Chain A
Amino acid sequence: MAAVSGLVRRPLREVSGLLKRRFHWTAPAALQVTVRDAINQGMDEELERDEKVFLLGEEVAQYDGAYKVSRGLWKKYGDKRIIDTPISEAGLRPICEFMTFNFSMQAIDQVINSAAKTYYMSGGLQPVPIVFRGPNGASAGVAAQHSQCFAAWYGHCPGLKVVSPWNSEDAKGLIKSAIRDNNPVVVLENELMYGVPFEFPPEAQSKDFLIPIGKAKIERQGTHITVVSHSRPVGHCLEAAAVLSKEGVECEVINMRTIRPMDMETIEASVMKTNHLVTVEGGWPQFGVGAEICARIMEGPAFNFLDAPAVRVTGADVPMPYAKILEDNSIPQVKDIIFAIKKTLNI
């Protein structure tokens, strides 16, 4: 209270000086948007743009979605575009919401055999422009059957595209690209990220803001080591990078954004610059995203630039425990990432 009244009493010159110190442009304060709202915005814009797009899933309509991601959409577009489905699980462009991707295992035959393979099996006659979206991976205290990461499972399949947004900008740009894509696309969101606000750059506020599928983003430039990640762990990698920066180690943090098709060019270019690689993911180690990155590095030009073997930081190779202390230690933490980086750099 005192701070506010103090601000009001300051002369205008000082206030504008205060403003000038924080921002470099005269635009209003940067817009903060949570990941949930970014996805909602993306779907809203695409529902408005194309009447063939519709959303179906458990509780998506009147309940506004189990995580409120589809809030307000039923009120705006009605029963014909937003449809509740009973639990179990032609020209139209459906967005199919899974309450979590763990439930997609019930429907996985449809996702793989009916969605992913149909265009190929029909010799190009039957496209399947469908989007599967929902929270993926570990949450908090939802235990073994509700915490699995499906990036490796879906990333394995030709015919599918798989994206994994980290922040709000990713979430909006990727959901819009996924909806406009004529192939089946799996969008792996993260429940713990839904409520996190991020700065929304001006271009992200446009109705035509798209993030290309298959292109990674370098979130932080660095010279000593390449750290590649997707989804929530990207945030942990940036935290680790901030800590290490104080010790003189500059990490280049890459946000994959897309699991399939993987943007190996960006990763390879970075490794050829830094000569070191650590991958970070929430999923299990065997046959995972990190394993694929390492294999591809070996198959490409970047291998000759490695000064040390690549290291993978992954979730523990156990079904997710329920006890909080065990759960916390079953997913990669900032200290694990720092440890792996230092080990790779031999410091």
Chain B
Amino acid sequence: MAVAIAAARVWRLNRGLSQAALLLLRQPGARGLARSHPPRQQQQFSSLDDKPQFPGASAEFIDKLEFIQPNVISGIPIYRVMDRQGQIINPSEDPHLPKEKVLKLYKSMTLLNTMDRILYESQRQGRISFYMTNYGEEGTHVGSAAALDNTDLVFGQYREAAVGAAYAAKRANANRVVICYFGEGAASEGDAHAGFNFAATLECPIIFFCRNNGYAISTPTSEQYRGDGIAARGPGYGIMSIRVDGNDVFAVYNATKEARRRAVAENQPFLIEAMTYRIGHHSTSDDSSAYRSVDEVNYWDKQDHPISRLRHYLLSQGWWDEEQEKAWRKQSRRKVMEAFEQAERKPKPNPNLLFSDVYQEMPAQLRKQQESLARHLQTYGEHYPLDHFDK
């Protein structure tokens, strides 16, 4: 500090201030500067010639006033492998997955679809309290999951927590990636910004997987953002980004596989924006006919569905046929019904568990309440449906 002030006194005022300011900047330990972190190479502070020396950006000067126009007319292109008829477009992008793996992809997507139908109905019948279906987005879940290792961590939401977990995995040299799923609506939350920025600055092995399905409950994308979707935000944070056709299971698979490999090898985040369409309602608490046309929904259901497209591929490979389809539909329905009935028959957890896991060790006042409940049930237990609960 003293050096800077002395320097200012020596030089002429206007020049002196800028010189003093530069000297201030040079002092080690000044806030935020002279770090020992290697990555962002600071330009060598040589002379005062016409190259920009700002610590905040590495760029050339320009002497023409020009605003950068956000490009939403022809945005980031959408990577796909299969066309709508399930034909591979560019053979060099064909992942050449073996038959069992592709059948597993297909069966996972269709089983999910079957489970969705049954559970949605069961909510309507009052047998479960709440449900969210996956109609139209099965390709994004299954395609990406198929590209991960069994030890990778999956976060269904909680963007910042995902970054924290990725950071821990990096420190432990765990050879794990963390994948965090979120919708284009969630990307508007402040947490998303913090998550992206921390992932980039802390160099975390994380895949941010955005399912852009056209609607955030009732908010269409035209009201959600004015930029080129979510993929365009990645470079703003210094994150490798790609946009894929979310209804193309192979495209989703390829992108996730490569992102996983590089995220772990290079310790950096990746952003995948999977374009898709939400065919169903947002949840059992939503009626989407209030804000979109039935025609629009039918179009996607009939013309561009991840399950249909993969089925076309399977049929063209000779790995599937109508009979197997019929048999599998019956089998998957039976599987879901059996599991559902088994779950319905299970007793509810013991009321004792109301008090556990608030802290690692149960504090005294919770134990007192637990004992009080136990005494109450001993005296008045017959008035409660205790047979529905675990002993």
Chain A positions near chain B (C-beta within 8 angstroms): 59, 62-63, 79-80, 83-86, 88-92, 109-110, 114, 119-120, 122-124, 127, 158-159, 161, 181-183, 214, 261
* Cα separation A261 to B172 with both chains bound (whole Å): 34
| A120-B358 in contact (CB<8A) | yes
Q: Which of A79, A84, A92, A158 contacts B168 (CB 8 A)?
A: A92
Q: Which residues of A contact B161 (CB under 8 A)?
A: 110, 114
Which B residue sits closest to A214, measured CB to CB?
B363
Cross-chain pairs A/B with CB under 8 angstroms, 28 sampled: A59-B31, A62-B29, A62-B34, A62-B36, A63-B29, A63-B31, A79-B36, A85-B198, A88-B197, A89-B194, A90-B165, A90-B172, A92-B167, A109-B191, A110-B160, A110-B161, A114-B160, A114-B161, A119-B359, A119-B360, A120-B357, A120-B358, A158-B358, A159-B359, A183-B359, A261-B363, A261-B364, A261-B365
| B191-A80 in contact (CB<8A) | no
Answer yes or no: B225 CB below 8 A from chain A CBs: no
Write the nearest CB–CB distance from B352 to chain A, whole angstroms.
13
Which A residue sits closest to B365, measured CB to CB?
A261
A63-B29, A261-B363 given; A88·B194 CB < 8 A: yes
Answer yes or no: B171 CB below 8 A from chain A CBs: yes
Which parts of B176-216 form the interface with A (CB within 8 Å)?
A: 191, 193-194, 197-198, 201-202
Write the nearest CB–CB distance from B37 to chain A, whole angstroms.
7
Which A residue sits closest to B30, measured CB to CB?
A63
A110-B160, A114-B158, A182-B360 given; A80·B171 CB < 8 A: yes
| A86-B358 in contact (CB<8A) | no
Q: Which residues of B contact A83 (CB under 8 A)?
A: 202
| A161-B31 in contact (CB<8A) | no
Q: Is the interface of A mostly helix, strand, loop or mixed?
A: loop
Which parts of B219-239 form the interface with A (CB within 8 Å)?
A: none
Q: Which residues of B contact A124 (CB under 8 A)?
A: 356-357
Write the nearest CB–CB distance from B195 to chain A, whole angstroms.
10
* Cα separation A90 to B357 with both chains bound (whole Å): 19
Q: Which residues of B contact A261 (CB under 8 A)?
A: 363-365
Answer yes or no: B35 CB below 8 A from chain A CBs: yes
Task: Identify the 4 closest CB pairs spanning chains A and B, nearest first.
Answer: A90-B168, A124-B357, A182-B360, A120-B357
> Total interface residues on B, using CB and 8 Å?
31
Which A residue sits closest to B178, measured CB to CB?
A90
* Cα separation A84 to B202 with both chains bound (whole Å): 10
| A88-B193 in contact (CB<8A) | yes
* Cα separation A183 to B193 with both chains bound (whole Å): 27
Q: Which residues of A contact B358 (CB under 8 A)?
A: 119-120, 158-159
Q: Which residues of B contact A158 (CB under 8 A)?
A: 358
Q: Which residues of B contact A85 (CB under 8 A)?
A: 198
Answer yes or no: B81 CB below 8 A from chain A CBs: no
Q: Which residues of B contact A63 (CB under 8 A)?
A: 29, 31
Q: Which residues of A contact B198 (CB under 8 A)?
A: 85-86
**Residue interface bits B89-121, CB-to-A below 8 A is 1, else 0:** 000000000000000000000000000000000
Write the nearest CB–CB distance from B192 to chain A, whole angstroms.
12
Answer yes or no: B8 CB below 8 A from chain A CBs: no
| B171-A92 in contact (CB<8A) | yes
Q: Which residues of A contact B34 (CB under 8 A)?
A: 62
Answer yes or no: B20 CB below 8 A from chain A CBs: no
**Residue interface bits B34-70, CB-to-A below 8 A is 1, else 0:** 1111000000000000000000000000000000000
Write the nearest CB–CB distance from A73 to chain B, whole angstroms.
15
* Cα separation A86 to B37 with both chains bound (whole Å): 13
Write the nearest CB–CB distance from A102 to chain B, whole angstroms.
17
Which B residue sits closest to A130, measured CB to CB?
B164
Which A residue sits closest to B189, measured CB to CB?
A109
* Cα separation A79 to B35 with both chains bound (whole Å): 10
Write the nearest CB–CB distance from A243 to chain B, whole angstroms.
36
Q: Which of A59, A89, A109, A161 contacts B359 (CB 8 A)?
A: A161
Which A residue sits closest to B28, measured CB to CB?
A62
